[in-house]
Chain A
Amino acid sequence: MDRVRAALERWAGHAFLWPVVLVVLFLSIFPLLLSLYLSLARLQFVPGGFQLTFIGLNNYRKLFLGSEQVHFLGLAGQPSLIGWAIFGLGVALLAWTLVSYARGQRATVGGVVGRGLAAVIGSLILLMLVRTLAPGGRPGTITVTLIYVFVDLTIQYLLGLGLALLCTQRLPGRRFFRVVFLLPMMITPVGVAYMFRMLADTTKGPFKPIWGALGLYNVSWVNDPWGARAAVMIGDIWQWTPFMFIVLLAALEGQSVEQVEAATVDGANSWQIFRHITLPEILPVSTTLILIRMIEAFKIVDLPNVLTNGGPGTATESLTLQAYINWRTLDLGGASAVAYVLLFLVTFLAMTYVNVIRRRLVET
């Protein structure tokens, strides 16, 4: 009996971790391989079924250089002086981080090469952003997705944190607000998308009088590219702020009261308490939250699909929606290629985020 117990104890580490690794492996290996193969192939219908032909990197070439280039990467405009200045500043910043790392004590060859690669990719992304957002340019699906992710994450985090802080106060009725603030997250994303389509309608929606007063009576505001993008982002912010809210609320409620008490006795004001006690405690959870939401936000599809159908033109189309549209037209190879580009882009951003920002904030 004792030997059994000792064995169980010795294997505890494995018993805790392995079930998860096995389940995730079972569900991830095969899709990863098959969709990689699909991205290198073309699906054709032949009598009696379908046939996959291996076509190498053609699907990718089409996205980056061929007929889909404008749709995917966007149309380059002529950036103003300010645009170039932003680009120069960004590149200078990346170069400076790289150099200061290389001259530091803990630099390794692998680290320098990895960071150098990251800096090059970062500059290329920045160049694409600056050129497609310039006058005369048109942002492609990559740029649009990056804008969605950046704007949504920033606003959601700040709103979620603010609301969580408000809800930790001892206010009568706060439990009502806590439940109400969770509601948007509980609606199925397809449902949220249809709901916002209803609300955004300028002739049937509840804001019709406002549109009328603004003289936009019969102009559907989703006909303007930036208006349409704003509509998609408002929907996303509405739906996902609760996720930030509930996780931050749990983190805030989990912190110990003693430190706050001691600081108050010592005469610290609320800002100082927040800055020096609360913020360090919620930083680990915050960085995790931002990572998870970033990964999820890159996959935004229901809102642009239902609300604007990707339009006007392709102005609101996200990467996942582009893959989805390809897939609906049975271009499985094209869909998988877009998905794989997304996989590389997000993996790159997530690795940079984890290695540079998260380690620095959490592990020091």
Chain B
Amino acid sequence: METFLKLFRRRSLLQPSVAQMVVSYFLLIGWAFVVLFPLYWLVITSLKLPIHVNDGPVYLPFVDFEPSLHAWKYILIGDLKNDTIRPYVNTLIVGLASALLALTLGTMAAYGLIRFRYRPRLGAIGAFLGCLGLAVIAVVLGVPWTIAAVAALALFILILQTVGRRFQKSLGNSDIAFWLISQRILPPVAVVIPIYVLYQQFRLLDTHVGLIIAYVGANLPIVVWLMRDYFQTIPVELEECAAIDGASRYRIFVSIVLPLAVPGLIATFLFVLVFAWNEYLLALFLSSARAQTMPLTVAAQNATRGPQWWYMSVLIIIMILPVIIMAIVLERYIARGLLVGAIKG
């Protein structure tokens, strides 16, 4: 009886009892199977000849069927070599650059929204919308858009400096945050054509910079929202101490706040990286030969002869490898206890 009860006793604060461990492992392995089985199927499909796929399922290489590297050869050294490597490099550049940039800018804004009070005045917003409307009317009437934009901006500043000061009613930080996240609502289908036209004007089509800007813009709201919540859990006392010691706002942000938010930063970074890495519809429109990214190559394997499962599997596998490596490297930083030492010390 005594030994039986022991199974249910916690061994220490963070160490679960034996019975708990058994149940936990059971659940963890169960979900791991759900996650890994489709991926296993992907790997063996990449080793199959078309005939092995089309004649019904075979499960085990060497037992059920003779694995073949034909798809890997075709993608990596054969006909598709150049069509694989260039998009691959593009995806790396665009994904990493846009994720880092979005993380930097978004983290700053999130910190600002937590620690400062912004009061965007309704008068200013109204004036901005009014000037925007005037500019649109001017463009419709045939004024070149550059002139209309400059004139509207000048008018806006003029109004702001004179009449705008009288309207003191203002919005708050949470309204700014909501405005940011609401920019994610419109589906990409509705956005691509306007962005295409916009990029044509700025000569950003089929460039890395263009894709990076688009992905940074798309990811910023998510970074701001997630980081805002992580920052909220950081005690303000630490920052006050540093401020008394004479550190500037920027200094406090870089050397106190950011190190404490590392778990959140890593989680957010992985998410925005994955988003830019995998984005399909914007890439389809904004890039063609030079800046094409990998998701387009994957979708292109759905040829007129039907989906080329084996090539597609190879492409998906080589596409996720870098992200998996990054996740393995970064996962260790999502760990408990970073905050504890800081408060005690």
Residues of A bordering B, CB below 8 Å: 5, 8-9, 12-13, 15-17, 19-21, 23-24, 26-35, 38, 159, 162-163, 166-171, 174-175, 177-191, 194-199, 203-206, 208, 238, 243, 246-247, 249-251, 253-258, 260-261, 264, 281, 284-285, 288, 291-292, 295-296, 298-299, 301-302, 319-320, 323-324, 327, 332, 335-336, 339-340, 342-343, 346-347, 350-351, 354
A31 and B324 contacting across the interface, CB-CB below 8 Å: no
B106 and A20 contacting across the interface, CB-CB below 8 Å: yes
Contact of A335 among B178, B189, B264 (CB under 8 A): B189
- Nearest-CB residue, chain A, relative to B261: A254
B151 interface residue, CB < 8 Å from A? no
Contact of B57 among A32, A208, A323 (CB under 8 A): A208
What is the CB-to-nearest-CB distance from A101 to chain B, in angstroms, rounded to a whole number? 19
Residues of B bordering A, CB below 8 Å: 13-16, 20-21, 24-25, 27-28, 31-32, 34-39, 41-42, 45, 53-54, 56-57, 59, 105-106, 108-109, 111-113, 116-118, 132, 136, 174, 176, 178, 180-191, 193-195, 197-198, 213-214, 216-218, 220-222, 224-226, 228-230, 232-233, 248-250, 253, 263-264, 266-268, 270-271, 274, 277-278, 280, 294-295, 298-299, 302, 307, 309, 312, 315-316, 319-320, 323-324, 327-328, 331-332, 334-340, 343
A32 and B186 contacting across the interface, CB-CB below 8 Å: yes
**Residues of chain A within 8 A of B213, CB atoms compared:** 23, 27
**Residues of chain A within 8 A of B228, CB atoms compared:** 288
A16 and B184 contacting across the interface, CB-CB below 8 Å: no
**Residues of chain B within 8 A of A180, CB atoms compared:** 32, 35-36
What is the CB-to-nearest-CB distance from B166 to chain A, in angstroms, rounded to a whole number? 22
A342 and B185 contacting across the interface, CB-CB below 8 Å: yes
A17 and B187 contacting across the interface, CB-CB below 8 Å: no
**Residues of chain B within 8 A of A183, CB atoms compared:** 35-36, 39, 320, 324
CA distance A152 to B191 in the complex (A): 25
Contact of B337 among A191, A203, A257, A291 (CB under 8 A): A257
B339 and A184 contacting across the interface, CB-CB below 8 Å: no
CA distance A319 to B190 in the complex (A): 12
**Residues of chain A within 8 A of B214, CB atoms compared:** 27
**Residues of chain A within 8 A of B328, CB atoms compared:** 179
A343 and B185 contacting across the interface, CB-CB below 8 Å: yes
| 15 A-B interface contacts by CB (under 8 A) | A16-B109, A23-B217, A24-B180, A30-B194, A170-B14, A177-B28, A183-B324, A186-B274, A188-B280, A188-B316, A190-B298, A204-B57, A251-B230, A260-B13, A285-B230
**Residues of chain B within 8 A of A191, CB atoms compared:** 278, 295, 298, 312, 315-316, 319
Contact of A31 among B35, B176, B191 (CB under 8 A): B191
CA distance A27 to B336 in the complex (A): 38
Q: A12-B249, A194-B302, A285-B230 are in contact. List 4 more A-B contacts (CB 8 A).
A: A19-B108, A191-B316, A253-B336, A301-B187
**Residues of chain B within 8 A of A182, CB atoms compared:** 270, 327, 331
A189-B280, A299-B188, A335-B189 as given contacts; A179 in contact with B178, CB under 8 Å: no
What is the CB-to-nearest-CB distance from A308 to chain B, in angstroms, rounded to a whole number? 14
- Nearest-CB residue, chain B, relative to A358: B174
A8 and B248 contacting across the interface, CB-CB below 8 Å: yes
A246 and B182 contacting across the interface, CB-CB below 8 Å: no
A188 and B319 contacting across the interface, CB-CB below 8 Å: yes
A198 and B217 contacting across the interface, CB-CB below 8 Å: no
B180 and A198 contacting across the interface, CB-CB below 8 Å: no
The 8 residue pairs across chains A and B that have the minimum distance between CB atoms: A16-B112, A339-B190, A31-B194, A27-B217, A188-B278, A13-B116, A20-B109, A12-B249
What is the CB-to-nearest-CB distance from A359 to chain B, in angstroms, rounded to a whole number? 9
Contact of A9 among B229, B249, B331 (CB under 8 A): B249
A351 and B178 contacting across the interface, CB-CB below 8 Å: yes
B111 and A206 contacting across the interface, CB-CB below 8 Å: no
Contact of A35 among B56, B194, B320, B343 (CB under 8 A): B194
B233 and A255 contacting across the interface, CB-CB below 8 Å: yes
A20 and B267 contacting across the interface, CB-CB below 8 Å: no
CA distance A261 to B340 in the complex (A): 13
CA distance A354 to B180 in the complex (A): 13
A188 and B263 contacting across the interface, CB-CB below 8 Å: no
**Residues of chain A within 8 A of B221, CB atoms compared:** 24
- Nearest-CB residue, chain A, relative to B36: A180
- Nearest-CB residue, chain B, relative to A27: B217
B34 and A24 contacting across the interface, CB-CB below 8 Å: no
CA distance A285 to B178 in the complex (A): 15
CA distance A170 to B336 in the complex (A): 11
**Residues of chain A within 8 A of B225, CB atoms compared:** 288, 291-292
What is the CB-to-nearest-CB distance from B283 to chain A, in angstroms, rounded to a whole number? 10
A187 and B59 contacting across the interface, CB-CB below 8 Å: no
A31 and B334 contacting across the interface, CB-CB below 8 Å: no
B195 and A31 contacting across the interface, CB-CB below 8 Å: yes
B186 and A181 contacting across the interface, CB-CB below 8 Å: no
A5 and B229 contacting across the interface, CB-CB below 8 Å: no
**Residues of chain A within 8 A of B36, CB atoms compared:** 180, 183
CA distance A249 to B113 in the complex (A): 24
CA distance A295 to B116 in the complex (A): 27
CA distance A65 to B263 in the complex (A): 50
What is the CB-to-nearest-CB distance from B52 to chain A, in angstroms, rounded to a whole number? 10
